[in-house]
Amino acid sequence: MTKRLLYSVLLIRAVALALRSTPELNGFWLNDAFKPAESIHIGVAISLRQGGLVNPAIHDVDKKNLDELMESMLDLVNRARTGHLRGSELADGTITVTNLGEQGVESVFGVIYPPQVALVGFGKIVERPVAYHGMVGVRPMIDATLSADHRVSDGHRGGRFLLAIERLLQEPEKL
């Protein structure tokens, strides 16, 4: 049973699972060609206490359960902020996830971290009015944005990828 779970971990896990159906967003643009990644190593944007930002990767995110992913995330943040990251963690990210929701930001339009070909940005959770089955109610919502290299993918595939993330987040038991 999970003792503590940051919602960022749910977002990262949803991105990893959605990549299974959109593998062209998981890889690198190298030597004028796309090189798909064999594994899903998600780069996580981490702000440092002394200022600045690093983007180390959590390896094999799609193969970790939520407890393992939470442990990996806490360990990565701690080591990033104490200067003890491994070189592979800084070089192996196959896609980046950034979450500025804790900073109060509602929408994120991120810049791709080369040679990666995609970045997913998440804003803060806000309550919004929505219509559902003919009824209007208030639901917690989060904006998810995708920055993608059009040499590798297109808006249609990017839209399918964001839809896959949405569906996973609406059914957290699948994470």
Catalytic machinery residues: 150
What's the CA gap between 57 and 35, in Å, rounded? 18
**In degrees, to the nearest 5, what angle opens at C-alpha 69 toward C-alphas 96 and 128?**
65
- Assess contact for 76 and 128: CB atoms under 8 A: no
* Spatial CA neighbour of 122 closest among 151, 155, 165, 84: 165
What are the φ and ψ backbone dihedral angles of 171, each rounded to 5 degrees?
-130, 70
- Assess contact for 62 and 16: CB atoms under 8 A: yes
Which residues are CB-contacts of 41 (< 8 A; sequence separation ≥ 6)?
57, 58, 59, 60, 61, 92, 93, 94
